[in-house]
Amino acid sequence: MRRSVLVGGAAVVAVLVVAAAVAATRSSGPVAAPAPETGTTTITRTTLVDVTVATGTLGHGPEQELVSRLKGTVTALPAVGTTIERGAAAVRIDDRPVVLFYGTLPAYRDLMPPPAVPDRTSSPAAAPAGGSVGADVKQFETNLKALGYSGFTVDDEYTTSTATAVKHWQRDLGLPETGTVELGRVVYAPGPIRAASHVVVAGQVAEGPLLTFTQTAQLVTALLPARSASLAAVQTKVTVELSDGSRAAGIVQSVGTPDPETAASAAEPMVAVVIAADDAKTFTVPGDGAVRVRFVASTRKDVLAVPVGALLALAEGGYGLEIVEGGTSRIVAVTTGLFADGRVEVSGPEIREGMTVRTAR
């Protein structure tokens, strides 16, 4: 009898325990997570590439200002979106063209030939100085030659022969044939430009910026944390993920610097990285212009690697792998290297390519 009662009491207790468990499950309190399922994988030899991904936009790159160095009235501006090439008018001041030439050295002075030869009776000490000499002369003459003018040598010396060619060029533009290039008559850009916006309108005095311009090619402008700017040195190759899902090869064209006014208050100062396409056609895609740029942070070639989920934290510190061999398994300590794209480099005296290891699914 006593045994039966005890058994019956145990059954009652068991029912109460089950009921309590069900009630706990239905309550709002936390429930212990089930143990993760596991599977197996293989140690493979591969190349790991760690990348930093930055967001960006597809457009024509940063805008620059075209600033007037001539006095007068703005009489014509190119329509927004217009492409301006070498020898064409970027703007017109007093109905005379301000001409675009290609180069990186800004115009900073008049370019002029040597003065006329003095009378032979003059003393040697009175001989006149020569014409303009310098890198800006060579830059100008290179452009003049590219436009088809000849009769002079392209070098850093502005000679009377250069002045003769300049007079022909001035006549073709409807300018006074002085043989001297006045400061402001020519503006320089690395290549063709695209009119982006107007700062003034026709009829205003030509003072300061007149319009903004960009490059003509499609470019990507990505924002990268300033601490990672070393990943984007000029000429660095990158991969651009376009809005249509395709990928295109690109190369870093320029890297900006943090804006001093915002860098002090920003939690993470950013720099603008301008990227050109290896093939210009690949950057011409439909969409909103949003892109992602992959910068390579580090690369490890010919290393052994496993999924990160295969790593085990060891009680004595460090990491290990559970090696599966036949029907048994054992834990082996490993040294970890580069983590990239969900995989990790592993090494150790007992680690070999092709081994089977336990991993979380």
Identify the pLDDT of residue 202.
96
Rounded Cα–Cα distance for residues 70 and 182 (Å): 9
pLDDT band per the 50, 70, 90 thresholds, residue 5 = very low
- State which of 279, 298, 317 marks the end of a domain: 298
Q: How many CA atoms lie within 13 A of 61 on its CB side?
A: 21
Q: Is the domain of 223 the same as that of 117?
A: no
Least confident of 34-38, 54-58, 109-113, 309-313: 34-38
Residue-wise pLDDT for 221-267, tens only, equals 999 999 999 999 999 999 999 988 899 999 999 999 886 666 666 67
SS3 111: strand
The mean per-residue pLDDT over the stretch 69-74 comes to 95
Residue-wise pLDDT for 182-222, tens only, equals 999 999 999 999 999 999 999 999 989 999 999 999 999 99
Identify the pLDDT of residue 234.
95
Identify the pLDDT of residue 267.
79
Indicate whether 98 pLDDT > 80.
yes
Q: Is the domain of 79 the same as that of 117?
A: yes
Task: Give the predicted TM-score (pTM) of the model.
Answer: 0.69
Of 59, 56, 54, nearest to 296 by C-alpha is 54
CATH number for the domain that contains residue 70: 1.10.101.10
Q: How many CA atoms lie within 13 A of 179 on its CB side?
A: 14
Buried b (16+ CB within 10 A) or exposed e, 278-315: eeeebbebeeeeebbbbbeeeeeeebbbbbebbbbeee
Q: Is the domain of 313 the same as that of 332?
A: yes
Q: Is the domain of 105 the same as that of 151?
A: yes
Distances (CA, A) of 255 to 66, 297, 330: 21, 16, 51
Rounded Cα–Cα distance for residues 158 and 151 (Å): 12
Q: Is the domain of 1 the same as that of 118?
A: no
Indicate whether 124 pLDDT > 60.
no
SS3 151: coil
The mean per-residue pLDDT over the stretch 322-350 comes to 94
Residue-wise pLDDT for 13-64, tens only, equals 333 333 333 333 333 444 444 545 679 999 999 999 999 999 999 999 999 9
CATH number for the domain that contains residue 266: 2.40.30.170
Q: Is the domain of 126 the same as that of 241?
A: no
Q: Is the domain of 73 the same as that of 149?
A: yes
Range(s) of the domain holding residue 315: 38-48+301-360
Q: Is the domain of 153 the same as that of 281?
A: no
Least confident of 177-181, 224-228, 300-304: 224-228
Share of the chain above pLDDT 70, in %: 83
- State which of 298, 314, 332 marks the end of a domain: 298
Q: What is the mean pLDDT of the chain?
A: 86
Q: Is the domain of 79 the same as that of 210?
A: yes
| Tokens at 35, concatenated | 């143990």
Which of 342 and 13 is assigned the larger pLDDT? 342
Q: Is the domain of 266 the same as that of 305?
A: no
Rounded Cα–Cα distance for residues 257 and 271 (Å): 5
Over its C-alpha atoms, the chain yields an Rg (Å, rounded) of: 36
The count of structural domains within the chain is 4
Least confident of 133-147, 161-175, 253-267: 253-267
- State which of 246, 272, 298 marks the end of a domain: 298
Q: Is the domain of 263 the same as that of 229?
A: yes
Count CB atoms within 10 A of the CB of residue 141. 24
Rounded Cα–Cα distance for residues 273 and 222 (Å): 5
Q: Is the domain of 251 the same as that of 334?
A: no
